[in-house]
């Protein structure tokens, strides 16, 4: 069996599968390497109550849109896994599961990529890196200062409240994972201490529709990275927090505070069993509210401009304000027995030995096409649009790359025949 393919895809998640579908549709031979199994990240690195924060109708893998009976609902973790598995079963991708890619390099003489794997060496004319951008859990070094008896885990390891000690829990970070995990613990009756960072929040519903429906109607999801007013930093910004839990709702941390959750500013340091916080809780809450209101204002302008008949809503009024928040807290006095670090991930492409990365390890590309001929990336956040790293926009990106790969392959073959013809005519 040959170890050479026209295209090798690294990663068997929704990005790699989408790429495979598009290549198979165009008749291009290829192979996918998946380190674990299809949908591994969804089934392994999500908590038990996890669900999508975008409506099911946005699940639009290539030629495989959501077809269930709840398009405006939010799939739970196990339903997401089944959706991806059924997608793979619908077209039988050429995939090798349980195979780790150890390195990718390019032979400049042969113009071939060498792909080292746990089952041997492979070559390809073109390679698509479809492993996303969330690889290594990011945990701050101050975690080392916590006492040994305090259980620590990253958000990717959290499963449910019952798996933690029967004590209070400190949640660090208020991106999507942090807020949803804090809510999960709070609803289970846990005493939660939440370190509130600068992540923005989003309304869930506004003026008669889910905000996602409004943004779709406004064309936001078609906005490219080059058109975005915050092009230089949007790829690294925290996602807006909101939830699809119980049919979808807004997350207002002030409401949680009224119900007994303890809110603090960002974690500053840990010293001799005491947590110290920055004095920025009020600022971070106000900033998150301001972003939510700006989204509403944008929708208001759209409704007015297009004279759309939509119900009105009163302006948001904060239901709680922090009053002289404590800037330190003793772990033992607060009875904190666990810390959940919701502090994001590092991208790790160290195994890709091809000169396409900037000083921070991010690959330089234009819609996934790098400066090295034949090397591509797929599934990165804001690779091209908001939906690039999500179910909603991956089909657009995969289709674009498949067309690019097909054109390049045809051009390369045409050049090969041109060389052959020149040789024959010369002889």
* pLDDT band at 414; cut points 50, 70, 90: low
Res 420: pLDDT = 34
Q: Is the pLDDT of residue 417 over 50?
A: no
Strand partners, 60: 65
| Number of helices (H), then strands (E), in the chain | 8, 22
CATH number of 4-135+347-423: 3.50.50.60
Q: What is the pLDDT of residues 213-247, one digit of tens each?
A: 999 999 999 999 999 988 878 888 888 999 999 99
Q: Is the pLDDT of residue 346 over 80?
A: yes
* Distance of alpha carbon 277 from alpha carbon 267, whole angstroms: 5
Percent of the chain with pLDDT over 70: 96
Q: Cα–chain-centroid distance for residue 198?
A: 18
Give Cβ neighbours of residue 25 (< 8 Å, ≥ 6 apart).
Answer: 62, 63, 402
* Other residues' Cβ atoms within 10 Å of the Cβ of residue 58: 20
Query: How distant, in Å, are the alpha carbons of 13, 37, 131, 168 from that of 97?
Result: 11, 5, 14, 40
* Distance of alpha carbon 193 from alpha carbon 261, whole angstroms: 6
Q: Is the pLDDT of residue 256 over 90?
A: yes
Q: Is the pLDDT of residue 255 over 70?
A: yes
The answer to whether the CB of 207 falls within 8 A of the CB of 311 is yes
* pLDDT band at 421; cut points 50, 70, 90: very low
- Report pTM: 0.93
The answer to whether the CB of 177 falls within 8 A of the CB of 342 is yes
Average pLDDT, the chain: 94
Q: Is the pLDDT of residue 33 over 90?
A: yes
Q: Is the pLDDT of residue 425 over 90?
A: no
Query: Is 228 exposed, middle or buried (CB count within 10 Å of its CB: 0-12, 13-18, 19+)?
Result: middle
Res 152: pLDDT = 98
Res 415: pLDDT = 58
* pLDDT band at 411; cut points 50, 70, 90: confident
**Structural element, H or E, at residue 282:** helix 281-305
Domain chopping of the chain, boundaries:
4-135+347-423, 163-341
**Structural element, H or E, at residue 374:** none
Q: Is the pLDDT of residue 427 over 60?
A: no
Give Cβ neighbours of residue 107 (< 8 Å, ≥ 6 apart).
Answer: 113, 114
Q: Is the pLDDT of residue 312 over 80?
A: yes
Q: Angle 14-25/394-426 helices, nearest 10 degrees?
A: 50
């Amino acid at each position: 069996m040959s170890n050479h393919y026209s295209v090798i895809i690294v990663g068997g998640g929704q990005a790699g599968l989408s790429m495979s579908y598009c290549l198979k549709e165009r008749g291009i031979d290829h192979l996918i390497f998946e380190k674990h199994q299809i949908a591994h990240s969804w089934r392994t690195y999500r908590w038990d109550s996890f669900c999508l924060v975008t409506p099911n109708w946005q699940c639009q893998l290539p030629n495989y849109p959501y077809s269930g009976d709840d398009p405006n609902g939010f799939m739970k973790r196990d339903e997401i896994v089944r959706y991806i598995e059924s997608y793979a079963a619908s077209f039988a991708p050429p995939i090798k599961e349980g195979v780790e890619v150890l390195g990718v390099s390019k032979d400049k003489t042969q113009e071939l990529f060498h792909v080292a794997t746990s089952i041997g060496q492979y070559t390809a004319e073109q390679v698509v890196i479809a492993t996303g951008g969330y690889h290594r859990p990011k945990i701050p070094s101050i975690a080392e200062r916590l006492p040994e008896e305090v259980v620590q885990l990253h958000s990717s390891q959290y499963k449910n409240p019952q798996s933690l000690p029967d004590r209070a829990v400190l949640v660090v970070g208020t991106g999507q994972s942090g807020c949803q995990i804090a809510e999960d613990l709070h609803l289970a009756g846990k005493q939660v201490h939440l370190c509130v960072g600068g992540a923005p929040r989003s309304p869930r519903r506004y003026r008669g529709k889910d905000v996602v429906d409004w943004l779709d109607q406004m064309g936001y999801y078609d906005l490219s990275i080059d058109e975005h007013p915050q092009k230089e930093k949007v790829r690294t910004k925290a996602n807006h927090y909101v939830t699809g839990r119980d049919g979808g709702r807004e997350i207002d941390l002030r409401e949680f505070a009224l119900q007994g959750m303890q809110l603090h500013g960002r974690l500053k340091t840990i010293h001799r069993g005491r947590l110290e916080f920055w004095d920025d809780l009020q600022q971070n809450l106000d900033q998150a509210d301001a972003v939510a209101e700006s989204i509403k204002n944008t929708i208001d302008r759209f409704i007015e401009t297009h004279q759309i008949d939509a119900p009105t809503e009163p302006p948001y009024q904060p239901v709680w304000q922090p009053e002289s928040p404590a800037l330190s807290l003793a772990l033992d006095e607060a009875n904190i027995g666990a810390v959940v670090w919701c502090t994001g991930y590092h991208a790790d492409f160290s195994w890709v030995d091809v000169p396409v990365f900037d000083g921070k390890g991010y690959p330089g590309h234009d819609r996934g096409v790098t400066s090295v001929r034949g090397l591509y990336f797929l599934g990165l956040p804001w690779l091209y649009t908001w939906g690039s790293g999500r179910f909603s926009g991956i089909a657009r990106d995969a289709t674009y790359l498949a067309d690019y790969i097909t054109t390049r392959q045809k051009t390369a073959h045409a050049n090969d025949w041109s060389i052959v013809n020149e040789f024959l005519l010369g002889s």
